[in-house]
Amino acid sequence: MSTSRNVTRAVNAVLDLAPRRGEVSLPRLVAAVSADRGRPIELATAELPAGVCGQWRQYTDHDVFLIQHGLPAWDRTLAHELGHLVLGHEGIHVLEAARENTEIASLELIGYMLNQRTGCMGPSGVDAEQEAEDFAALLIYRLGRLPCDRSSIVQVRLGEAFG
């Protein structure tokens, strides 16, 4: 399946925000998107339910990308979650709704709902998960092909990225 114009445009838009100097790493791109939106995006690792690689949590004044603790290909997952955000997939509102209705939504429950969401259709009838995957693949490919003077480093140590 070829990458949709929508996804290509979103990847271009994110790369346009990349810092003009120094290395362009994925966490730096996330920070650039965050600055552009005027809404903080926090990165954190967490013990997520088995089978869940990452999670985008939307709070009223900020977003959090949670990455499964110890995940080897975390950059791919981070790019995937960023894809959901920039592509406007707001499917996790269901999560927010659940949190309002229950004192504490357990991680297991969140995992269950995320699994339910897998394969869901986006607003335009496009499979949101597929779109986020396409976005992640293209972004990481393009990051790896930036000119040398931008010294792109996709693989930053997890500890450096998440502080």
**x-or-dash string of contact with Zn ion, 83-112, rule CB under 5 A:** ------------------------------
Dihedral pair phi/psi, residue 23, rounded to 5°: -70, 145
In sequence order, what DSSP letters do the residues of 54-90 get, joined into one string? EEEEE-SS-EEEEEETT-TTHHHHHHHHHHHHHTT--
Number of residues that bind Zn ion (CB under 5 A): 2
Q: Which is nearer to Zn ion, 24 or 79 (CB)?
A: 79
- Shortest Cβ 132–Zn ion spacing (Å): 5
Helix (H) or strand (E) holding 42: strand 41-46
What is the distance between the alpha carbons of residues 44 and 39, in angstroms, rounded to a whole number?
A: 16
Closest CA to 44 of 158, 136, 132: 158
- Answer yes or no whether residue 132 interacts with Zn ion by CB under 5 A: yes
Rounded Cα distance, 63 and 37, in Å: 11
Q: Which stretch binds Zn ion (CB under 5 A): 28-36, 71-79, 125-133, 145-153?
A: 125-133
- Which of these ranges, 20-28, 33-41, 93-101, 128-136, lies near Zn ion under the rule CB under 5 A? 128-136
Stretch that binds Zn ion, among 15-23, 31-39, 70-78, 126-134 (CB under 5 A): 126-134
Q: Given the complex with Zn ion, which of 116 and 151 has the nearer CB atom?
A: 116
Instruction: Give contact residues for Zn ion (rule: CB under 5 A).
Output: 129, 132
